[in-house]
Amino acid sequence: MSARIESREIRRTGSPRASRTWRSVRRSPRKNGWISGVRDRAWPRSGTSGRRRRSLPRWCASMVRRAGACRARWCRTERDQGRRSTMSKLKGKVAIIGIGEVPTGRFPETAAIYHAIASARLAIRDAGIQKDEIDYVMPTAALFSPQFNTELVTCRVAEELGLKNVKKNCQVFAGGSSSTCALEIAASLIHSGAANMILFVHADRLGTGVSAQGGIDLFSTAGISAEWEVPFGQHYSAIAAMSTMRYKYETGCTDEHLSAVCVSNRKWAQLNPNAMFKKDLTIEEVMASKQLSTPLRVKHSNVLADGGAAFIVTSAERARAICERPVYLLGEGGVVTHFVFSQEPDVSRFGWAKAGRMAFEEAGLTPKDVDVAEIYDSYPIYQLIGFEELGFAERGQGGEMFLKGDTWPGGKIPTTTNGGMLSQGHTGAGGAVALMVETARQLMGKAGERQVQGARFAVETAVGGTYMDAQVTILGTEIP
């Protein structure tokens, strides 16, 4: 569609021909109406003036084109600055003040609501607040049961806890990214004055609430395209195998490097009373386990489990009055890259580098400032990719750090210190909730035997679906 600019004369001092008229300018719907070019023909005769409108001179056409380009650049810059300025307003404005978590494992006699309520009560006790100070409840979805998920949506947690001053019960669900998304939403609600004290809680029974076949079916369809992937047998282990093969081809990573990630996580799980697996694990045992999806072995995979976790968020001012060592939200970055896995631009990198840059810029920190790295680990390849893309190792060098013990207890960069989903257990969306709770636990100095001494800053990552996004959160006990 074209739009015509009213004819007017433009005079240039010193020009041999002072009178000029504008030509029409084409607007492209693909560029939201921005100036994208100048028509070649002059306008037709005007019914009022009877004069033919003359072509726009070259110098003016050039100005029009430059103006359009400048506007496009300005809008892109404004979008980026808008995202940064929004988060910069939240930096250090909210804090986690209480955490709670029940043991992860298989508990066939324990109802899912128990995991949720027990975790929430632990978080309230840890925060040192009265339960009626909570005015907003934010549960996230359980995967094992649509009925239980409906109960979470319809305020069962608030009723079971006996909360009397709750204004809203609103579920936030983004798969494995739920905890990170919920924290940023909670920060915005608190900063705007819409909420004062927010309880986030998760519970699931993927270990005993679904059968073995049910678990296979769930992770062969959840987040996997029914049109383009399910008919061809796509599932999460196959996706992880494809990422692993590509990464190995590009970097020279070995099976020993991948297995070293599992061993590192097990070292931490052995110090975690809530972890599902504590038995010692060696690289040889990982590589000798049953084939899962080439090149992955069974022990390269997470294990579905029951469990629950919760945390409480409030304003920084209130946190300092309540909590001895509040954990401030310093920066967040996120990138959504795909739904169908084949549409991911780079299956050996994903969006971690971009998300990490956003988070570190907002926090005013660098990877060298980080004391603890809580990296999402449903399969070792994703922990390894996240570790490198965030800047803790050069591309292709992270595996050697896991192999040498740099990520173990007492190592240079303690990583996934609760044991992760490979050793603590995978509770659906709760895998990253547990990492968020562990991040706060380390910074609060409450991690017991596995405490990283002097921890001030930590990074936590989360990802949903078929690794469709990359979410990075930076927390700290100080505000840089």
Bridge partner residues of 458 (DSSP):
372, 475
- Confidence (pTM): 0.82
Give yes or no for a contact between 437 and 99, defined as CB atoms under 8 angstroms apart. Answer: yes
Residue 275 has pLDDT above 50, yes or no: yes
Range of the domain at 208: 94-476
Tokens representing residue 239 in the block: 């996706």
Give yes or no for a contact between 370 and 473, defined as CB atoms under 8 angstroms apart. Answer: no
Residue 43 has pLDDT above 80, yes or no: no
d(CA 327, CA 345): 35
Q: What is the mean pLDDT of residues 120-130?
A: 98
Tokens representing residue 93 in the block: 């404005």
Give yes or no for a contact between 184 and 198, defined as CB atoms under 8 angstroms apart. Answer: no
Position 5 scores a pLDDT of 41
Position 27 scores a pLDDT of 43
Q: Give a yes or no: residue 370 inside a domain.
A: yes
Position 66 scores a pLDDT of 62
Dmax (CA) of the chain: 94
Terminal CA-to-CA distance of the chain, rounded, Å? 51
Position 132 scores a pLDDT of 97
Q: What is the mean pLDDT of residues 144-153?
A: 92
The HSE-up count of residue 191 (CA atoms within 13 Å, CB side) is 17
- CATH of residue 444's domain is 3.40.47.10
Residue 388 or residue 66, greater confidence: 388
Sign of CA dihedral 254, 258, 259, 260: positive
Backbone φ, ψ for residue 328 (5° rounding) = -85, 145
Burial of 445 (0-12, 13-18, 19+ CB in 10 A): middle
d(CA 189, CA 412): 37
How confident is the model over 206-245, as pLDDT tens digits? Answer: 999 999 888 888 888 899 999 999 999 899 999 999 999 9
Q: Give a yes or no: residue 37 inside a domain.
A: no
Query: CA nearest 422: which of 142, 100, 104, 119?
Result: 104
d(CA 356, CA 474): 9
Proportion of the chain above pLDDT 90, given as a percent: 78
Q: Give a yes or no: residue 76 inside a domain.
A: no
Residue 188 or residue 1, greater confidence: 188
Residue 49 has pLDDT above 60, yes or no: no
SS in 3 state form for the chain?
CEECCCCCECCCCCCCCCCCECCCEEECHHHCCCEEEECCCCCCCCCCCCCCCCCCCHHHHHHHHHHHHHHHHHHHHHHHHHHHHHHHHHCCCEEEEEEEECCCECCCCCCHHHHHHHHHHHHHHHHCCCHHHCCEEEECCCCCCHHHHHHHHCCHHHHHHCCCCCCEECCCCECECHHHHHHHHHHHHHHHCCCCEEEEEEEEECCCCCCHHHHHHHCCCCCCCCCCCHHHCCCHHHHHHHHHHHHHHHHCCCHHHHHHHHHHHHHHHCCCCCCCCCCCCCHHHHHHCCEEECCEEHHHCCCECEEEEEEEEEEHHHHHHHCCCCEEEEEEEEEECCCCHHHCCCCCCCCHHHHHHHHHHHHCCCHHHCCEEECCCCCHHHHHHHHHHCCCCCCCCHHHHHHHCCCCCCCCCCECCCCHHHHCCECCCHHHHHHHHHHHHHHHCCCHHHCCCCCCEEEEEECCCCCCEEEEEEEECCCC
Q: What is the mean pLDDT of residues 363-370?
A: 98
Residue 3 has pLDDT above 50, yes or no: no
How confident is the model over 288-337, as pLDDT tens digits? Answer: 999 999 999 999 999 999 999 999 999 999 999 999 999 999 999 999 99
CA of residue 323 relative to chain centroid, distance: 26
d(CA 375, CA 305): 19
How confident is the model over 389-423, as pLDDT tens digits? Answer: 999 999 999 999 999 999 999 999 999 999 999 99
Residue 200 or residue 69, greater confidence: 200
Based on the structure, what is the number of domains in the chain?
1
d(CA 425, CA 427): 6
Q: What value does the mean pLDDT of the chain take?
A: 87
Q: Give a yes or no: residue 436 inside a domain.
A: yes
Q: Give a yes or no: residue 4 inside a domain.
A: no
Proportion of the chain above pLDDT 70, given as a percent: 82
How confident is the model over 418-474, as pLDDT tens digits? Answer: 999 999 999 999 999 999 999 999 999 999 999 999 999 999 999 999 999 999 999
d(CA 137, CA 411): 38
Single-letter code of the amino acid located at 139: P
In this structure, the number of other CB atoms found within 10 A of the CB of residue 54 comes to 16
d(CA 450, CA 190): 32
Q: Give a yes or no: residue 320 inside a domain.
A: yes
